[in-house]
Structure 1
């Protein structure tokens, strides 16, 4: 049996939630657990984040799974509903919805008398990201219509920042939001992970942490550890073979690495079918028996290679960390030209998970 596995640390999730609460002590926390909790497993992650005030998900099935598991907190569908059947289901189960377009608003208005109970709404403004939401010019009108709609229990105002993670920041979008909502007295939700870590002025009533809960950084060039975050996933395997290359010999598909000197190579039981990025280049960080080293050669479907020339005790059976405590997922992502979000979400279904903490 292959030794590869992903280990989810519930204590790390609790720690990262505590970081959010310390930064924004007067807000409610909507923990974002979409995409199977960023690859950690929806119900696994929820058990570590059970002290959150609510959970944000993408699909109705995720919200229903949380309700069926006994979670009574606010559950928010981040893209709202797309059919009458979904609208009836959220009303029946007390699930909140984002309303971001005219069709969703009209659905509430026309079906108000049919629902089991009124629905809580997060009304989304397109303040500049140009992805979802009502433009500022129509936002107040949409809010008034929801206030007059019998199908709506309460309204929280929200927007999403496009550049909270870089030098442009949130000032322009925040100014648009503030100006548009100045006459509205509803609760507000603005801050994603990057805004929580960088812009206290965006905290307001609800914050929406995502990637930071899992111990990865939303800010390029700043490590998760620098924000006091702890990785919630360790992706691990073991060495299944050792090869020695002489100078001039090449390694793996495409001969992407050629030795310039005698080089010991560990063959690791992990490949792109397990969720490791195929495009990770020579030099991507990895750890063998807790010692940092680097990958060499092209990642194949089930195996990859690591340099153990200077790790004389490494052998068949040595423990490998693809990412986790010694090697951050952000460092692997940076080497591979992507982001930690993608790597965490991409761990394949064939990888077994273990829960600790």
Structure 2
């Protein structure tokens, strides 16, 4: 069997969720959209069990997969509903929905529902993607409650630059949100992972009854490029690994891989690893991208191929056929690989495919 695989540590997942609760002092939704960022939504939801306050997914298809798998905790649809006829499914399966547009408010007002909904009303505080304009926000809130179709409204927004710790944009967005929701006495959800981890000073009075949304930190990866205190306490959940399936001894001056972008400057031992961009490893990871070979630091050389990549074994004389290679995990942080590849850990995880997931710590 091909040795490429992704090990998913469910105990690390639970640790990171508890850290999100501790760091925020609020209730936390575990964001498991996009198949839990490539980690497996159903297994991750089952692992978090009864201790989770709720889950968040992108759309109703993802929510129904969880319900069909026996998940009964609250599930929030982060993109809301796309057609008015989805409201019947939202009611039937006891889902929570984001509302970010006036047409969605109108659809709720017109809907024939037997039970009132829980709505998270999204404000566009400066992301300028989706959300009600600040001038419309209070009216939208009042319309939802007056409709008789809504039992509770949670007030929310989303930050555009919370992963930039030197940016003033998050503070500006908080100010817009506070002005728009003044005197509206509802629960609040402002913080995503970077805001939970790096912006506690903006939320000194957040209530324990409010909500945060733990996404990338749930999987043990940092959204920041610099060192950060909460990030140091995260446990990586996914370890992407494979083995060396071939070894080449090359003299100085020989090219390696497609395009010959790497040329050996000395006699070089090259290890061939069963891992490539068809598995989700970033094709644009350059020579020098870190790996761990039998637990020791190593590096990528040459271009990543569809099914294979190459690493330098010259200074690792005990490594060879069958040696374990960690592409990211505890020894090689996904965030470090992402920086080298001009990507982000979110994309690395979500791009994972073909590689079997092996769960532990369940």
TM-score (norm 1): 0.96
In 2, Cα distance between equivalents of 1:222 and 1:182: 35
State whether residues 46 and 71 of structure 2, in contact with CA within 8 Å, keep that contact through their aligned partners in structure 1. no
Deviation at 1:224, TM superposition (A): 8.4
Alignment of 1:101-116 (within 5 A): 101-111=101-111, 114-116=112-114
Determine which of 154, 174, 186 is the counterpart of 1:156.
154
Alignment of structure 1 residues 24-43 onto 2, 5 Å: 24-25=24-25, 27-43=26-42
The answer as to whether partners of 2:30 and 2:215 remain within 8 angstroms in 1 is yes
In 2, Cα distance between equivalents of 1:281 and 1:225: 29
Contact 2:198-2:228 within 8 A present in 1 as well: no
Change (3 A) 1:224 1:321: farther
2:334 is equivalent to residue 335 of structure 1: no
RMSD: 1.3
Q: Which runs of 4+ in 1 moved over 4 A?
A: 223-226
Equivalent residues of 2:291, 2:327 under 8 A apart: yes
CA-CA distance at 1:241 after TM superposition: 0.1
1:28 and 1:70 map into 2 onto residues whose CA distance is: 22
Does the aligned pair in 1 maintain the 2:222–2:231 contact within 8 Å? no
Partner of 1:119: 117
Deviation at 1:70, TM superposition (A): 2.6
Segment of structure 1 superposing worse, 262-271 or 64-73: 64-73
Of the candidates 345, 351, 355, which is equivalent to residue 351 of structure 1? 355
Residue by residue, what CA displacement relative to the aligned partner does 1:308-349 show, whole Å, maximum 9, x if unpaired? 10000111111110100100000100110110110011111x
Give me the TM-score of the superposition, normalised by structure 2. Answer: 0.95
SS class of match (1:49): helix
State how many pairs are aligned.
353
CA shift, 1:227, in A, is 3.2
Instruction: Decide whether the 8 Å contact of 1:92 with 1:115 is kept in 2.
Output: no
Picking from 265, 274, 286, the partner of 2:270 is 265
- 8 Å CA contact 1:189–1:208 kept in 2: the answer is yes
SS at 1:133 equivalent: coil
Matches within 5 A, 1:123-138: 123-138=121-136
Change (3 A) 1:161 1:254: same
Taking the aligned partners of 1:211 and 1:49, their CA distance within structure 2 comes to: 15
Counterpart position of 2:219: 214
Displacement after TM superposition at 1:119 (Å) = 1.1
Change (3 A) 1:47 1:175: same
In structure 2, list runs of 5 or more residues that go unmatched: none
Following the alignment from structure 1 to structure 2, what is the Cα–Cα distance between the partners of residues 347 and 307?
24
Q: Which 10-residue stretch deviates more, 299-308 or 196-205?
A: 196-205
Paired residues for 1:55-94 under 5 Å: 55-94=55-94
Q: How far does residue 49 in structure 1 lie from its aligned partner after superposition? A: 2.3
Q: Which moved more, 1:262-271 or 1:193-202?
A: 193-202
Check whether the contact 2:197–2:231 (CA below 8 A) recurs between aligned residues. Answer: no
Who is 2:173 aligned against? Answer: 173
**Partner Cα separation in structure 1 for residue 24 and residue 231 of structure 2:** 17
C-alpha change, 1:225 and 1:310, in structure 2 (3 Å) is farther
Per-residue CA deviation, residues 225-282 of structure 1 (Å, 9 max, x unaligned), is: 7430000000010000001111111001000100111011100000000100011100
| Partner secondary structure for residue 234 of structure 2 | coil
Question: How far does residue 296 in structure 1 lie from its aligned partner after superposition?
Answer: 0.2
Give the whole-Å Cα distance in 2 for the aligned partners of 1:72 and 1:153.
Answer: 19
Q: Which residue of 2 aligns with 1:193?
A: 193
What SS does structure 1 have at the residue aligned with 2:214? Answer: coil
Check whether the contact 2:80–2:100 (CA below 8 A) recurs between aligned residues.
yes
Q: Give the whole-Å Cα distance in 1 for the aligned partners of 2:300 and 2:228.
A: 21
Contact 2:271–2:312 under 8 Å retained in 1: yes
Over residues 199-227 of structure 1, what are the superposed CA-to-partner deviations in whole Å (9 max), with x where a residue is unaligned? 22445400101000100001122368743
Match of 1:300, SS state, is coil
